[in-house]
């Protein structure tokens, strides 16, 4: 996939969602994906990729289980072959899914959650070698389900940042360690990973977002919104603008604009459903200052041990 393949304007579907209600979310997800022509063909192999970073903070860190369930149900009704998976930096996706209630939410659909594995090398434009999961690369498409969160290193964690989860296991904190304070190299990693993947459709859980700080220890912020697009760049741009941010304050937005990616300018975006002015996100607090996040070697080794133990226990 190339992030530059879409013509502009790129559609971003916005819908009000004032709570996590099963039937409502199913109907809303179906309508939004239809509005952007984002439902794959029957028989397509689809990876549903939620954020399963950590089971901490009362589940606020992760995509809400009922949003994941709603999207999976839409895909199953369309005849798709669905796999649900993520690759947390520490531990396993199945353990996180069990703790936040996702395992239970998917049980009657006959789906379970896998930890993305089988790393295959991807080389970046600046020579880095990154292990991307073949479990993601071998799909026909990816349904990316980020949760809108503040992020102390990127200011906002959205659709592009959520695709970092296709990097296998402790390789993610290793990338933080090597490039977390290297300026544009770190932003380039996220853009180039997205560019390396099969076609990606994104649906963002911003019903209750995380603000203040993040990506783990922030506070809940009701933003009452779901958003979807065929372009993770356009979806993120729409959210940045709705939050009143500027490219200079958001490293990933600045990088997307530097590369002139479709959807990186607000003028590139069309809204087939609700309009941005229909929402009030003024209560959302993004981090005032950014801090590069690196990991020392001892923490990386500790994380690797935790991951092995999680697989055998």
CATH number of the domain that residue 255 is part of: 3.40.50
Does residue 1 lie within any of the structural domains?
Answer: no
Which range has highest mean pLDDT (170-174, 229-233, 287-291)? Answer: 229-233
- The mean pLDDT value for 299-307 works out to 44
- Residue 293, pLDDT > 90, answer no
pLDDT at 89: 72
Phi/psi of residue 178, each to 5°? -80, -35
The answer to whether the CB of 125 falls within 8 A of the CB of 195 is no
- Residue 141, pLDDT > 70, answer yes
Give 122-136 pLDDT, tens digit per residue. 988 887 888 999 999
Q: Which of 112-121, 169-178, 199-208, 226-235 has the least mean pLDDT? A: 169-178
pLDDT at 129: 86
Q: pLDDT band at residue 3, thresholds of 50, 70 and 90?
A: confident
- The mean pLDDT value for 257-283 works out to 97
pLDDT at 186: 81
- Residue 93, pLDDT > 90, answer yes
Phi/psi of residue 244, each to 5°? 75, 20
Does residue 192 lie within any of the structural domains?
Answer: yes
pLDDT at 205: 98
- The mean pLDDT value for 140-165 works out to 96
For the chain, give the mean pLDDT.
90
Report DSSP state, residue 127. Answer: S
- The mean pLDDT value for 279-285 works out to 97
The answer to whether the CB of 173 falls within 8 A of the CB of 301 is no
Q: pLDDT band at residue 103, thresholds of 50, 70 and 90?
A: very high
- The mean pLDDT value for 158-166 works out to 95
pLDDT at 94: 94
Does residue 2 lie within any of the structural domains?
Answer: no
Does residue 201 lie within any of the structural domains?
Answer: yes
Q: How far apart are CA 307 and CA 93, in angstroms?
A: 10
The answer to whether the CB of 313 falls within 8 A of the CB of 94 is no
Other beta carbons less than 10 A from residue 269's beta carbon: 23
Q: What are the start-end ranges of the E strands in the chain?
A: 10-16, 45-50, 81-86, 113-115, 119-123, 129-133, 141-145, 147-151, 155-157, 200-211, 219-229, 269-270
Give the residue carrying structure tokens 């980020």: 146
Does residue 287 lie within any of the structural domains?
Answer: yes
Q: Which domain holds residue 27?
A: 10-312
- Residue 170, pLDDT > 90, answer no
Q: pLDDT band at residue 271, thresholds of 50, 70 and 90?
A: very high
Q: pLDDT band at residue 32, thresholds of 50, 70 and 90?
A: very high
Is residue 181 classed as helix, strand or coil in its secondary structure? coil
Does residue 175 lie within any of the structural domains?
Answer: yes
Does residue 254 lie within any of the structural domains?
Answer: yes
Residue count of the chain, please give it: 313
**In the numeric block, which tokens belong to residue 86?**
């993520």
- Residue 110, pLDDT > 80, answer yes
Does residue 68 lie within any of the structural domains?
Answer: yes
- Residue 180, pLDDT > 80, answer no
Number of domains in the chain: 1
pLDDT at 177: 60
Q: 238 or 303: which carries more pLDDT confidence?
A: 238
């Amino acid at each position: 996939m190339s992030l530059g393949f879409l013509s502009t304007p790129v559609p971003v579907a916005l819908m009000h969602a004032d709570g996590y209600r099963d039937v409502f979310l199913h109907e809303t997800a179906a309508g939004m994906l239809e509005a952007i022509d984002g439902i794959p063909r029957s028989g397509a192999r689809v990876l549903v990729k939620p954020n399963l970073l950590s089971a901490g903070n009362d589940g606020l860190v992760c995509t809400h289980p009922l949003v994941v369930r709603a999207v999976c149900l839409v895909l199953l009704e369309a005849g798709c072959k669905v796999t649900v998976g993520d690759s947390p930096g520490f531990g396993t996706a199945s353990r996180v899914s069990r703790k936040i209630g996702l395992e239970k939410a998917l049980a009657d659909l006959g789906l379970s959650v896998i930890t993305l594995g089988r790393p295959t090398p991807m080389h970046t434009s600046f020579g880095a070698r990154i292990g991307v999961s073949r479990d993601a690369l071998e799909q026909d498409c990816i349904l990316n389900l980020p949760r809108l969160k503040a992020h102390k290193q990127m200011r906002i964690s959205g659709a592009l940042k959520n695709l970092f989860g296709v990097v296998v296991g402790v390789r993610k904190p290793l990338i933080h360690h090597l490039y977390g304070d290297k300026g544009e190299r770190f932003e380039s990693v996220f853009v180039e990973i997205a560019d390396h993947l099969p076609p990606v459709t994104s649906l963002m859980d911003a019903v209750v977002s995380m603000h203040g700080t993040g990506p783990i220890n922030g506070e809940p912020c009701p933003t009452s919104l779901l958003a979807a697009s065929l372009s993770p760049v356009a979806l993120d741009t729409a959210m940045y603008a709705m939050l009143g941010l500027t490219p200079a304050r958001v490293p990933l937005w600045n990088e997307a604009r530097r590369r002139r990616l479709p959807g990186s300018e607000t003028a590139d975006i069309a809204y087939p459903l609700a309009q941005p002015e229909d929402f009030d996100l003024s209560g959302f607090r993004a981090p005032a200052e950014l801090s590069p996040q690196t990991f020392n070697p001892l923490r990386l080794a500790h994380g690797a041990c935790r991951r092995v133990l999680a697989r055998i226990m």
